[in-house]
Amino acid sequence: MNKFMEFAVKEAKNSGTDVPVGAVIVINDEVIASCHNQKEELNDVSAHAEILAIKEAEKKLNNWRLDGAKMFVTLEPCPMCASAIINSRISEVYYGATDNLYGALGGVIDLRTIFNSKLVVKGGIMETECEELLKGFWRRNG
């Protein structure tokens, strides 16, 4: 499992002037999408790593249904991303750092309740590395 989170951490490091977050989508043990946060770069509030990865996977599969897919993301998804993940039918989400401000898969709220979703969620994967990414960014830009 850690190899995919390592992939996500590496992806996060491409975020440039954006808050470093990386997300990868895995189907049958293969990475089919890998994206980083590009909100500032693209001037697009929806361009969080998770949304971009979902769009990339959907395009590759020519299908918005990602049943059976796993997402590995360095930060707990916000409400926007958690909703998109649940609606895309991704089966499992593994995240690194918990988001105590905007986390929508347990950190602050759990949107699975509203959507009556069976999405499997596990946080705290490579938590220290994922938190360090964010802390380093805020030390440089805070």
Rounded-to-10 torsion of CA 104, 105, 106, 110: 70
Tally the C-alpha atoms within 13 A of residue 63's C-alpha that lie toward its C-beta. 7
Q: Whole-number minimum distance, CB 3 to its own copies, in Å?
A: 27
Q: Whole-number minimum distance, CB 89 to its own copies, in Å?
A: 9
The Cβ of residue 11 has, within 10 Å, a number of other Cβ atoms equal to 24
Catalytic residue among 6, 50, 58, 132: 50
Round to whole Å and give the CA distance between 104 and 116: 14
Round to whole Å and give the CA distance between 71 and 94: 6
Q: Specify whether 50 is catalytic.
A: yes
Interface residues toward its own copies, by CB under 8 A: 39-40, 43-46, 51, 54-55, 58-59, 62-64, 78-84, 87-88, 102, 104, 108-109, 111, 114-115
Provide the token pair at 57: 């996977």
Q: Which is nearer to its own copies, 36 or 126 (CB)?
A: 36
Q: Whole-number minimum distance, CB 113 to its own copies, in Å?
A: 9
Contact 9, 130 (CB under 8 A): yes
Which are the catalytic amino acids?
A: 50
